């Protein structure tokens, strides 16, 4: 092992995690505001609200365990633990160490599960979700096995970089990085393709969806940079991985909250209304209210068109797509995409 001493790393990670945890609590408050702003109780996205609360609870428990671990290592067992504080914090079978990493695995599984669900909802295709779903299952399997292996590492309890542990932990990091990048890429590409079709006929820049792509990319970059740094530290046998592991906990929450809050702050344009080419007879657009509103916002010349209305709904990241036939006319379908970010 190399890098900072284990006891120094434990103290450093506790301080830095505490700072980021406080910031995540502030962002959680903003998230609750974003979920409830000008909404009735029935309109609140309850599943996403539950996920947001779970992320906060898991981060809070992790912060409490971190404080207990630091107190145990530097105060309670300072003179009784063989080898002193440095040996205490290096022992991967110690109870608080196992609990902290189990919480980290749970938080990662939860956050990555939401990403996979977003992909399915946005694309409305089970095929698109197959590979992300397989990667998510790999995260669950490798994460659970890694925590179990750590708790049973009686042969070499002071070395998290032991060969029998490395393969599972490395597989876990690789799986979560790949899942994050793949899901973020699929989401950004899907929204970009929608925006490209909208831009063909839109007469103004009002209602552009590009800010949503930027928000998703920013969140993916933040999370991926930390994970790549963590993986590099782990593969190089650097004790800095223990510090980064603790920091990932509030960062996961921050990245999740950031998406929702930033989209809420960009709510000046409530609706994303687009016109997409389709096989509809010329001049046969339905006359229901939605279609009339769309035509008023986007004057069009006579052509073969398919009208789609994209409506922003500022809840956490999910995209619902449903088709409604207009009351009159021969339009094949009138789709509305709600952005529950």
Query: Looking at residue 205, which CATH number applies to its domain?
Result: 1.20.1070
CA 341 – CA 262 distance, rounded (Å) = 9
What pLDDT band is residue 126 in, cutting at 50, 70 and 90?
A: confident
User: In the listed set 265, 299, 322, which residue is the last one of a domain according to the structure?
Assistant: 265
Does residue 1 fall inside a structural domain? no
**Each residue of 193-217: b (16+ CB within 10 Å) or e?**
ebbebbeebbeeeebbbeebbebbe
pLDDT score recorded for residue 163 = 54
Question: Which residue in 107, 102, 110, 108 sits closest to 58, CA to CA?
Answer: 107
> Bigger pLDDT: 221 or 165?
221
Same domain, residue pair 276 and 256: no
CA 299 – CA 306 distance, rounded (Å) = 14
Mean pLDDT along residues 131-146: 92
CA 289 – CA 96 distance, rounded (Å) = 60
Same domain, residue pair 84 and 102: yes
Same domain, residue pair 121 and 145: yes
CA 220 – CA 85 distance, rounded (Å) = 36
- Tell me the percentage of the chain whose pLDDT exceeds 90: 24
Decide if 15 contacts 247 (C-beta within 8 A).
Answer: no
Helix 163-201 with 126-151: angle, nearest 10 deg: 160
Same domain, residue pair 73 and 147: yes
Mean pLDDT along residues 166-194: 88
CA angle 254, 107, 171 (to 5 degrees): 110
> Bigger pLDDT: 336 or 178?
178
> Bigger pLDDT: 321 or 261?
261
Least confident of 111-120, 150-159, 164-173, 246-255: 150-159
Q: Is the predicted pLDDT of residue 106 greater than 90, yes or no?
A: yes
Sheet holding 318-324, edge to edge: 271-276, 306-313, 334-340, 318-324
> Bigger pLDDT: 308 or 183?
183
Does residue 16 fall inside a structural domain? yes
Tokens of 125: 């295709």
pLDDT score recorded for residue 153 = 64
Rounded to 5 degrees, what are φ and ψ at 106? Answer: -60, -45
Same domain, residue pair 95 and 127: yes
pLDDT score recorded for residue 3 = 66
Report how far apart the first and last C-alpha atoms of the chain are (Å, whole number). 42
pLDDT score recorded for residue 159 = 53
Q: Is the predicted pLDDT of residue 109 greater than 90, yes or no?
A: yes
Does residue 197 fall inside a structural domain? yes
pLDDT score recorded for residue 276 = 32
Tokens of 175: 């799986």
Q: Is the predicted pLDDT of residue 54 greater than 90, yes or no?
A: yes
Mean pLDDT along residues 33-47: 79
Q: Is the dihedral of CA 91, 95, 99, 102 positive or negative?
A: positive
Same domain, residue pair 142 and 275: no
Same domain, residue pair 142 and 291: no
Most confident residue range from 44-48, 140-144, 226-230? 140-144
Least confident of 88-97, 222-231, 254-263, 292-301: 292-301
User: In the listed set 247, 265, 283, which residue is the last one of a domain according to the structure?
Assistant: 265
User: In the listed set 265, 292, 317, which residue is the last one of a domain according to the structure?
Assistant: 265
Q: Is the predicted pLDDT of residue 183 greater than 50, yes or no?
A: yes
What pLDDT band is residue 285 in, cutting at 50, 70 and 90?
A: very low
Helix (H) or strand (E) holding 194: helix 163-201
Least confident of 55-69, 125-139, 141-155, 180-194: 141-155
Mean pLDDT of the chain: 74
For the chain, helix, strand, coil in percent to 5 are 65, 10, 25
Burial of 163 (0-12, 13-18, 19+ CB in 10 A): exposed
pLDDT score recorded for residue 202 = 60
Q: Is the predicted pLDDT of residue 43 greater than 50, yes or no?
A: yes
Same domain, residue pair 84 and 53: yes
Range of the domain at 110: 6-265
CA 164 – CA 181 distance, rounded (Å) = 27
* Count of structural domains, the chain: 2
What pLDDT band is residue 130 in, cutting at 50, 70 and 90?
A: very high
Q: Is the predicted pLDDT of residue 277 greater than 60, yes or no?
A: no
Tokens of 292: 């009339």
Q: Is the predicted pLDDT of residue 244 greater than 60, yes or no?
A: yes
pLDDT score recorded for residue 192 = 84
Question: Which residue in 145, 215, 146, 137 sits closest to 176, CA to CA?
Answer: 137
Q: Is the predicted pLDDT of residue 299 greater than 60, yes or no?
A: no
Mean pLDDT along residues 172-190: 90
The residues near 299 (Cβ < 8 Å, ≥ 6 apart) are 203
What pLDDT band is residue 168 in, cutting at 50, 70 and 90?
A: confident
Tokens of 191: 């929204």
Q: Taking the model in full, what pTM does it have? A: 0.74
Same domain, residue pair 253 and 282: no
């Amino acid at each position: 092992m190399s890098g900072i001493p284990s006891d120094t790393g434990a103290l450093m990670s506790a301080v830095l995690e505490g700072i980021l945890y406080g910031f995540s609590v502030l962002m959680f408050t903003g998230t609750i505001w974003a979920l409830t702003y000008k909404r009735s109780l029935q309109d609140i996205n309850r599943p996403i609200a539950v996920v947001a609360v779970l992320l906060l609870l898991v981060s809070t428990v992790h912060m409490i365990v971190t404080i207990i671990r630091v107190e145990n290592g530097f105060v309670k067992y300072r003179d009784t633990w063989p080898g002193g504080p440095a040996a205490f914090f290096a022992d991967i079978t110690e109870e608080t160490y196992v609990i902290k990493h189990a919480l980290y695995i749970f938080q990662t599984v939860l956050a990555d599960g939401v990403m996979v669900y977003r992909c399915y909802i946005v694309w409305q295709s089970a095929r698109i979700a197959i590979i992300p779903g397989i990667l998510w299952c790999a995260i669950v399997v490798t994460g659970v096995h890694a925590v179990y292996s750590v708790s049973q590492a009686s042969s070499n309890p002071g070395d998290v970089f032991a060969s029998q542990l490395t393969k599972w932990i490395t597989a876990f990091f690789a799986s979560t990085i790949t899942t994050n990048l793949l899901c973020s890429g699929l989401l950004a590409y899907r929204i970009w393709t929608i925006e490209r079709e909208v831009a063909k006929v839109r007469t103004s820049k009002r209602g552009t969806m590009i800010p949503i792509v930027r928000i998703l990319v920013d969140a993916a970059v933040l999370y991926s940079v930390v994970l790549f740094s963590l993986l590099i530290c782990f593969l190089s046998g650097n004790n800095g991985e223990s510090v980064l592991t603790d920091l990932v906990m509030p960062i996961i929450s921050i990245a999740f909250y950031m998406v929702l809050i930033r989209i809420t702050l960009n709510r000046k344009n409530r609706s994303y209304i687009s016109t997409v080419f389709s096989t509809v007879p010329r001049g046969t657009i339905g006359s229901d209210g939605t279609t009339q509103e769309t035509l008023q916002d986007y004057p069009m010349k006579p052509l073969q068109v398919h009208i789609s209305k994209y409506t922003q709904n500022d809840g956490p990241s999910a995209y619902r797509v449903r088709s409604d036939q207009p009351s009159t006319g021969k339009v094949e379908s009138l789709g509305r995409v709600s952005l529950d970010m």
